[in-house]
């Protein structure tokens, strides 16, 4: 009865990182610089791949889509966070919160599968080079990328449906710097069984399955590289995978930790910095890692 008579929240408050004015200014400048590098880096990567014929290959096709996804996922979070640093009231309307959940979960899961597809691409290139052009055909690459977006869309819709079934009649303070489904479930005053099931199923089915593709691909890749007799051949093979492996480790490590850990631990202060790694830092690092460690990209930049 009390649940049916409660007043549904129309706006949420975001706690952010700190209330100290000097620390807020420092964080504002730091995240502003990070966002500018993210925008310039990912836009530059997309334009470079489109403009350079030598980069028109499956690996860079996936990388161009990864840059687009990073651009979108960062933009749905960072600008709002920057505004909150200089605003007295750190609030977001219910509709804005729903939109943030949908868009972030769409592109977040799309990135998981794009990273898995990139690992599969490296597996075929290193373990089966003779059939690489046949297996990774333009049609196959298009289907893999389209499938990644469709999985992301399914995840985004699932999390949005999950949020729409929740009631928020008590506290409307989200202990984070953006609207994410995990703290929203903890905040809800209604039965969260369905939301928990959707969240755990999505993280387990999509997140774990894509990470298994990465794991199996790299086990096969490392096994093949170790069987190469030439030291130069080993070095070259490892260098083509190092950039992707660095990105995968940061992204999967922090995101799976956050979404598969018990929801009762979701308000810990240190968790916010774990979230920063895969929502803010990784989109900035991806174009830098792939450009600084990749001879083909550096050669395309020189041209």
Of 127, 126, 120, 162, the C-alpha closest to 143 is 120
Residue 166 lies in a domain: yes
3 state SS for 187-221: HCCCCCHHHHHHHHHHHHHHHHHHHHHHHHHHHHH
Residue 29 lies in a domain: yes
Q: What is the pLDDT of residues 23-41, one digit of tens each?
A: 888 999 999 999 999 999 9
SS3 state at 74: helix
Q: Which residue range(s) make up the domain with 73?
A: 11-302
Residue 1 lies in a domain: no
Task: Supply the pLDDT for residue 2.
Answer: 46
Question: What is the number of structural domains in the chain?
Answer: 1
143 pLDDT above the threshold of 90: yes
Residue 139 lies in a domain: yes
Residue 5 lies in a domain: no
Residue 4 lies in a domain: no
Task: Supply the pLDDT for residue 292.
Answer: 64
Q: What is the pLDDT of residues 254-288, one digit of tens each?
A: 776 666 565 554 445 667 777 888 888 888 888 88
pLDDT band of 237, cuts 50, 70, 90: low
Residue 3 lies in a domain: no
Residue 37 lies in a domain: yes
Task: Supply the pLDDT for residue 75.
Answer: 93
Distances (CA, A) of 262 to 70, 130, 162, 265, 266: 27, 46, 18, 6, 7
Of 91, 96, 100, 99, the C-alpha closest to 16 is 91
Q: Please report, for the domain that includes residue 112, its CATH number.
A: 1.20.1070.10
Place of tokens 């000097």: 22
Angle, alpha carbons 265-284-219 (nearest 5°): 75
Rounded Cα distance between 291 and 45, Å, is: 8
Residue 109 contacts residue 207 (beta carbons within 8 Å): yes
Higher per-residue confidence, 135 vs 194: 135
169 pLDDT above the threshold of 90: no
């Amino acid at each position: 009865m009390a649940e049916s008579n409660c007043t549904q929240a129309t706006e949420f408050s975001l706690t952010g990182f700190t209330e100290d004015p000097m620390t807020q200014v420092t964080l504002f400048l730091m995240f502003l610089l990070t966002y500018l590098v993210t925008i310039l880096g990912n836009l530059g990567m997309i334009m470079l791949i489109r403009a350079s014929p030598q980069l028109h290959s499956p690996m860079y096709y996936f990388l161009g889509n990864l840059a687009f996804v990073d651009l979108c996922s960062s933009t749905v979070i960072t600008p709002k966070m920057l505004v909150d640093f200089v605003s007295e009231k750190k609030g977001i309307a219910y509709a804005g919160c729903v939109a943030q959940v949908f868009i972030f979960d769409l592109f977040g899961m799309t990135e998981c599968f794009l990273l898995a597809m990139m690992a599969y691409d490296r597996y075929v290139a290193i373990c089966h080079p003779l059939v690489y052009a046949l297996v990774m055909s333009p049609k196959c690459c298009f289907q893999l990328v389209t499938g990644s977006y469709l999985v992301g869309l399914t995840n985004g819709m699932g999390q949005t449906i999950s949020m729409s079934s929740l009631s928020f009649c008590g506290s409307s303070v989200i202990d984070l710097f953006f609207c994410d489904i995990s703290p929203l479930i903890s905040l809800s005053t209604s039965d969260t069984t369905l939301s928990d099931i959707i969240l755990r199923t999505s993280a387990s089915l999509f997140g774990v399955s894509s990470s298994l593709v990465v794991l199996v691909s790299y086990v096969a890749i490392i096994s093949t590289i170790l069987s190469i007799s030439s030291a130069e051949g080993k070095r070259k093979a490892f260098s083509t995978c190092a950039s992707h492996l660095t990105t995968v480790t940061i992204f999967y490590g922090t995101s799976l930790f956050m979404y598969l850990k018990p929801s009762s631990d979701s308000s810990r202060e240190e968790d916010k910095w774990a979230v920063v790694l895969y929502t803010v830092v990784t989109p900035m690092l991806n174009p830098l890692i792939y450009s600084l460690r990749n001879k083909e990209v550096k050669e395309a930049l020189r041209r």
